Structure 1
């Protein structure tokens, strides 16, 4: 439409001040046909221009397609080269990977075999240790069975009153024999009244003997335990009374039989071979303890008897040391005499050393004089040789040298 307007506005003629354009002409002529022709011409021009433009664009596209095709061919060639390089790299890498995998598999196989060997060895060692432990367990089981048999045997021993008394006496004898020297005690000794206590400890310095007698009230104590388990007040009371009665009987028997004036100590030991029974007496039967004290009976357990024996051992040792005191004094006197003789001999030796020192000093003085005389004699001999060697010396000088030698000899004689 813009082109059409331009054509219509083209001047065709100039009439004075008025410009006659194509549009005026067409309008004047009624140039509808001209307008149609003009439009056809414009359409043809546009079609030609469009064809030219299409041909130009097709040529451009063809050139671009050729360039792209050349680039594609070039890229394809480069791609083929790269594919070849990649194939070579992949081939080398695959060979290296295969080699590395083979080496790792070999190492893993070796480590796995070594680990299996060590595991097998460790398993054998563990099995051996397990067998040893099982053997130890079997031994322990045998010991437990043996101990169980001994416990049953001990129960059988304790169930009998006589064997129970023998057990308490044997334990007391073991404690006394371990703590005191042989001869400081006597088992089952007979007293003047015909009684035979379990043990007599010989006290030092002619003092009366100490009596130790073992008592084991196990039945009454078992009755107390059974009553405590049954939780019956009457049963507990009856068991306590029976236990108190048995212990009281033992205390009276020891006080009546074994405390003899002038023959035994005023105090005797009643040995209870069980710490639990001893604790039961002191915790729940204080009246029995006080009654024993009044009767001059001391109730002792194994630990207290051991302590008492250690005290007695110290007393015996002190008594033996006092008995040997005069021997020690005699030996000290003899030792002092020997020390006095040694002092005299040392003083005499010191005198000899002083005399020897003076003699050595005199010998040194003599050797000093001899050394000086030897030096003078050596000087005189050198003077004589010098005089004989120089024949041209005057006779007066030789005479004076002889006179000097004579003077030196006189002086040496005077020394």
Structure 2
């Protein structure tokens, strides 16, 4: 049996429908080996390059890291300085803010204390006002109780009238609760000057009728209260006219005192008939202000009457004053004459003194040497007399 000879184109096995030869297997094997070796060589070369690249990158990274560390150190220094400056600035701002807050809190505390003090003062004023209001409320309650009683109401009007009269007139010019000749007792009588009859003032105003008008709840009740008040006023006016107007003893007119300005205005506004009836009955309705004005007029009349009574005394004093003035004028004129005489004597004395002064000056300026020496009066009396005569003539000529 011949030995088998292997050839490259001999099929070794069949892969599917294709026969696989030995050459194909060798070729595939060599290709596989080649392909397996090339990547390894390439891989080793690539590894060397990668190592070099990695080394370069590591060097660059180390350099960058060193640079970064330097920058970080510089930034740390800058940040430290900035942090210190920031801390100092923040500390200064906090200190300034603390100072401002302390000052503001102090001022606010002072303002708060001041406001509290003012509030306490206002509260004290309010407490005082409240106390006054409470006292006034008590007084008003007492006044209401007074006005609700007819007798006490009359006393209230009487007291107001007496106060006005006593403040306006001197003592002795008025009298309260005097008895007239018919037995009636008016509230006040005012003495008039020159022996005139007294003026009668009545203070018993019917205030209960007026209070009924104010307290009326409906128009009918108000109308009835007004009618009742009108009747009370007419009766009161009739009583004053019949009791207090006495010919020869009292004035022909009497005053009806109303103790309230508002009531007086309401009467003149809504009760004109009552006012007209009072005028016809010679009764004058007066309020406190009108009574005060009337008292002032009466006071002026009394003052004028006293002036008239003292007029003769004043005239006598003026006459004596004129006599004293005349005597003073005579004495002044005499003194003026003495002054004129004295002045003339003084002028004459001044003229004489002036002449003496001039003569003394001339004698002092006289040149005796040029005129010659005087002879001796004992040895040459005749020559001495002649020489003196010449000097006298010279002096007279000079005068």
TM-score bracket for this pair, using the shorter chain length: 0.7 to 0.9
2:248 pairs with one of 248, 262, 266:
262
Aligned-residue CA RMSD (Å):
2.8
Are 2:205 and 1:216 aligned? yes
1:131 pairs with one of 120, 145, 164:
120
Q: Specify the alignment match of 2:219 in structure 1.
A: 231
| CA distance in structure 1 between the partners assigned to 2:356 and 2:116 by the alignment | 97
Cα contact 1:215–1:273 (8 A) shared by 2: no
Are 2:140 and 1:151 aligned? yes
Between Structure 1 and Structure 2, how many residues are aligned? 320
Q: Specify the alignment match of 2:349 in structure 1.
A: 363
| CA distance in structure 1 between the partners assigned to 2:130 and 2:387 by the alignment | 119
Query: Higher helix share goes to which structure?
Result: 1
| CA distance in structure 2 between the partners assigned to 1:325 and 1:166 by the alignment | 42
| CA distance in structure 2 between the partners assigned to 1:174 and 1:197 by the alignment | 16
Cα contact 1:224–1:240 (8 A) shared by 2: yes
Q: Specify the alignment match of 2:29 in structure 1.
A: none
Q: How far off its partner does 1:338 sit?
A: 1.2
3-state DSSP class of the match of 2:178?
coil
Q: Specify the alignment match of 1:300 in structure 2.
A: 286
Cα contact 1:200–1:209 (8 A) shared by 2: yes
Closer, same or farther in 2 for the Cα pair 1:94/1:246, shift >3 Å?
A: same
Q: Specify the alignment match of 1:63 in structure 2.
A: none
Q: Specify the alignment match of 1:141 in structure 2.
A: 130
Q: Specify the alignment match of 1:177 in structure 2.
A: 166
Q: Specify the alignment match of 1:250 in structure 2.
A: 236
- 5+ residue gaps, structure 2, are 1-66, 376-385
Cα deviation, 1:239-291, whole Å, max 9, x if unaligned, reads 12211111111111111111111111011111111223222221222222111
Closer, same or farther in 2 for the Cα pair 1:379/1:100, shift >3 Å?
A: farther
Closer, same or farther in 2 for the Cα pair 1:197/1:408, shift >3 Å?
A: farther
Q: How far off its partner does 1:211 sit?
A: 0.4
| CA distance in structure 1 between the partners assigned to 2:371 and 2:290 by the alignment | 116
Q: Specify the alignment match of 1:163 in structure 2.
A: 152
Q: How far off its partner does 1:411 sit?
A: 5.4
Q: Specify the alignment match of 1:282 in structure 2.
A: 268
Cα deviation, 1:74-129, whole Å, max 9, x if unaligned, reads xxx9xx99x97x99888777665554543343233222212212221221222222
1:106 pairs with one of 95, 109, 115:
95
3-state DSSP class of the match of 1:117?
helix
Closer, same or farther in 2 for the Cα pair 1:191/1:404, shift >3 Å?
A: farther
